[in-house]
Structure 1
Amino acid sequence: MRKRLLILLGVSFFTFQFMYSQGSPDYNGGIKVKLNEDGSKYFRIISWGQFWAQYQDDAPDDVSNTNFSIRRARILTYSQINKDFLILTHFGLNSLNGDNQSPVGTGERSQLFFHDFWMQYNLGEKHAIGGGLHYWNGISRLNNQSTLNIMTLDNNRQSWATIGLSDQFARHIGVYLKGSFGKLQYRISVNESGRNTLDSAIDLGDPDTFVAGDTYYAGRDLLGSKDAGKNFAGYFDYNFLDQESNFLPYKVGSYLGGKKVFNVGAGFFYHPDGSVIVNNDLTLEGQDVAIFAVDAFYDAPIGENGSAITAYATYQNNDYGENFTLGQTYETGSMVYGHVGYVIPNDNKKTKFQPYASFNTRSIDAIDDNATTFGVGANAYFSGHHSKITLEYLNTKYGDNDAQSFVTLQAMIYL
């Protein structure tokens, strides 16, 4: 493992030198094209990429311990022809690696798809209604997390609580209402639930595809119930200090001391008959899916010379149906998660260093046991989140299984 760590550190040094030698000009709002003189008509383009080199200590004999991947490659654009209308398009790919590449970039393994596509109409200055494939989610801040400015290496996986179950990669097709009343911001939505879920391979005519007595997230198809076709979500947060923008749905992971923010929030996701239990006599019984969370976020400068603290904590209760479990990720039970990071004082305003730690503990009904994840890492910022290197060690243990450890190096640029 020591040899592998040296390789990762060497790659980190090379990447740092390459990025530094290319320079890092000030962002200045990115690529924004004005369509009239005062800029009220415009379109904006944002692009970003994240490259991973990851070491896993306990890989199968026929699998390399060290692997490379493109964690994310995305393009997002939005435009307004006046203050009342907005259209947003977001597409890209995730986790492209040696196992899932397509020989010529087409076919079943092609990963390029729409993440977001929605249209919005403003109802005055503080409220808006919209519809499409959207990211105005419920549950928690982390279920609305931007991937541009996550403080840890990646988002806490269990906080993205519906990916592949009722949605398309954390996005639903539906309508939403968002806005603010003073310091209270809100987002609520009514959405279609996807038919193609991670559990959709169940065939009651083929006993090999299911286990009697187990619960599956496939209520819309298996029950044939119109009630299972819709889901409902909402998130509300009170901004005690500086007010965060809710122009777009993507929550900031760390401001690096650029704002003084303290928010307390609560949210929910409800999908009636979203899952089903297959009784021993092969009859089906609908199970409501209900998830709710409370959380708190603090980000503020400390003293002088650019030091800052970022802290986040959440409690989330997951009810996917009786004893539901899928892939050690989606499970009926509860979760406590938190992370904290500190920007080290530095006279150089462009280069910043931020060590951090994270912890996740979950109670899981199906196995009557817990799962824990602990991570420590550090970010090196060369132009805020627009150019950074992250190195993280993550240890995770699930029930009685042996703990797994990962060391990951990430290089990220966004423009």
Structure 2
Amino acid sequence: MKKSLVLLFGLLLSLQFSFSQGSPDYKGGLKVKLDEDGKKYLRIISWAQVQGVYNFDASANSADVSFNLRRARILMFAQINPKFLILTHFGLNSLTGDTMSPTGKGEGSQLFFHDVWAQYSVGKDHVVGAGLHYFNGISRLNNQSTLNMMTLDNNRQSWATIGLSDQFARHLGIFAKGKFGKLQYRVSINDALTNSLDARDPNAETSAVYGGKRILGSADAGKTYSGYFDYQLLDEESNFLPYKVGSYLGGKKVFNVGAGFFFHPSGSVFNDNGNLVGEDVSIFAVDAFYDSPIGTDGSAITAYAVYQNNNYGTNYLNSAYGTGNMMYGHVGYVFAGDTAKTRYQPYVSFASNSYDAVNDNRNIFGLGINAYLSGHNSKLTLEYQNQDFGTSTSSLTLQAMIYL
């Protein structure tokens, strides 16, 4: 055990010093100006997150330390006119020794489009668009950016439809977004995924399966509807792109309260004595986000809380998702210090998920610390996580990240 932990920390620390050389004067990143004043441009963002994971509960047939290319992404968007924008985002996720292939052609090695959409301004503060998009409903965390999360990763259950009605948390459809004063909104109508991660057939008369479009057809179960609305009580956040910031590190004073929904008519199917019955999938949430500097010495606090009601159908339970309720929250504190030097942010998170199908709750506790070498552009994260759901499992993960 000690040898494995030393190996984990040693390799990832060497990884940090080899490529985590972010600059304190990022100044908007990689931007190609297409005219002299920069109103016509192409913006490019690239990021990588590399993890070493120590599994306290490794079996006799698995290693206690493993490595994971958690994310490798490229995002590009361009405007040649303020009235319209096109965005393209591609990459891969969770490449491990088990998903790699000899020539890079295997399923786990493949790049794919995360987002591709076009949008048009229909007024000063309102936009409509279409494509494979991330203007999701439900909650802030269902719209979370992966560039600036405070915790090691997003709360998985907050990406409440990932692989069930969408492609990796993205739906294909139309959206509208904008604001009325301090109230921001995003709403969408989308096609549901046909072949989801839930490939089960509803042959048991005890629980529903999430396969309405596959089993009942697109006429009954083909569309999903979602929306999220948040009121900006203090500083106003940008809604230029859909990706919600995880922590501003004291750069803003933000206090938002929000509410959202997701609705998929006949999204699930229940076997009622041999008759296949469509059941509506409905998910609702309310949340609050607070991020603020404390004093003038560079210290800051970030806090978030959400309550979410999940209805995936009668007694639905599959992998991370199930019919029931979820409560989640996290809080972190950035220590005072020079913003041009390394800053530290310890944090704690907790999630409790209750399911109609079982008596046990899924409780997930996280304790971690971020070392910001150059803000979110270059950071290290160390997190211990324990999950208790029937049995208890624990892991310790060290992640090195950089984005430009």
**TM-score, normalized by length of structure 2?**
0.97
The Cα shift of 1:193 comes to 0.2
The Cα shift of 1:200 comes to 2.9
* Residues 22 and 378, structure 2, Cα contact 8 Å, conserved in 1: no
User: Structure 1 CA distance, aligned partners of 2:218 and 2:321?
Assistant: 23
The Cα shift of 1:156 comes to 0.2
State the match for 1:232 in structure 2: 225
Change in 2 beyond 3 A, CA 1:17/1:112 = closer
State the match for 1:191 in structure 2: 190
User: Structure 2 CA distance, aligned partners of 1:17 and 1:104?
Assistant: 29
The Cα shift of 1:369 comes to 2.4
State the match for 1:284 in structure 2: 276
Change in 2 beyond 3 A, CA 1:23/1:338 = closer
1:60 aligns with 2:59: yes
The Cα shift of 1:3 comes to 3.9
The one of 309, 312, 319 aligned to 1:320: 312
User: Structure 2 CA distance, aligned partners of 1:90 and 1:359?
Assistant: 31
Task: Output the amino acid matched with 1:29.
Answer: G
Change in 2 beyond 3 A, CA 1:19/1:353 = farther
The Cα shift of 1:387 comes to 0.2
* Residues 286 and 308, structure 2, Cα contact 8 Å, conserved in 1: yes
1:275 aligns with 2:268: yes
SS in structure 1 at match of 2:51: strand
State the match for 2:98 in structure 1: 99
User: Structure 2 CA distance, aligned partners of 1:251 and 1:286?
Assistant: 33
* Residues 24 and 340, structure 2, Cα contact 8 Å, conserved in 1: no
Superimposed CA distance per residue, residues 218-254 of structure 1 (whole angstroms, 9 cap, x where no aligned partner):
0112123513100000000000110000000000000
State the match for 1:390 in structure 2: 381
1:148 aligns with 2:147: yes
1:116 aligns with 2:107: no
State the match for 2:133 in structure 1: 134
The Cα shift of 1:11 comes to 3.2
1:33 aligns with 2:32: yes
SS in structure 2 at match of 1:32: strand
State the match for 1:368 in structure 2: 359
* Residues 306 and 349, structure 1, Cα contact 8 Å, conserved in 2: no
The Cα shift of 1:102 comes to 2.0
Count of residue pairs the alignment pairs up: 404
User: Structure 2 CA distance, aligned partners of 1:187 and 1:149?
Assistant: 21
Share of identical aligned residues, percent? 63
User: Structure 1 CA distance, aligned partners of 2:46 and 2:191?
Assistant: 28
The Cα shift of 1:192 comes to 0.3
State the match for 1:207 in structure 2: none
Q: Tell me, which stretches of 5 or more residues in structure 2 are unaligned? A: none
State the match for 1:413 in structure 2: 402
- TM alignment of 1:214-233, pairs within 5 A: 214-224=207-217, 226-233=219-226
1:350 aligns with 2:349: no
Task: Output the amino acid matched with 1:405.
Answer: S
* Residues 162 and 168, structure 2, Cα contact 8 Å, conserved in 1: yes
User: Structure 2 CA distance, aligned partners of 1:212 and 1:230?
Assistant: 26
Task: Output the amino acid matched with 1:14.
Answer: S
SS in structure 1 at match of 2:123: coil
The one of 291, 299, 308 aligned to 2:291: 299
The one of 386, 390, 393 aligned to 1:404: 393
* Residues 219 and 275, structure 1, Cα contact 8 Å, conserved in 2: yes
* Residues 136 and 144, structure 1, Cα contact 8 Å, conserved in 2: yes
Superimposed CA distance per residue, residues 336-372 of structure 1 (whole angstroms, 9 cap, x where no aligned partner):
1000000011135332110000000111111122110
* Residues 188 and 233, structure 1, Cα contact 8 Å, conserved in 2: yes
User: Structure 1 CA distance, aligned partners of 2:81 and 2:132?
Assistant: 22
The Cα shift of 1:379 comes to 0.3
SS in structure 2 at match of 1:123: strand
Superimposed CA distance per residue, residues 69-100 of structure 1 (whole angstroms, 9 cap, x where no aligned partner):
10000000000110001000000000000111
* Residues 95 and 109, structure 2, Cα contact 8 Å, conserved in 1: no
State the match for 2:168 in structure 1: 169
Provide the aligned C-alpha RMSD in A: 1.5
Change in 2 beyond 3 A, CA 1:318/1:242 = same
The one of 322, 327, 343 aligned to 1:336: 327
State the match for 1:242 in structure 2: 235
Q: Tell me, which stretches of 5 or more residues in structure 1 are unaligned? A: 205-209
User: Structure 2 CA distance, aligned partners of 1:74 and 1:251?
Assistant: 17
SS in structure 1 at match of 2:42: strand
State the match for 1:4 in structure 2: 4
SS in structure 2 at match of 1:226: helix
SS in structure 1 at match of 2:391: coil
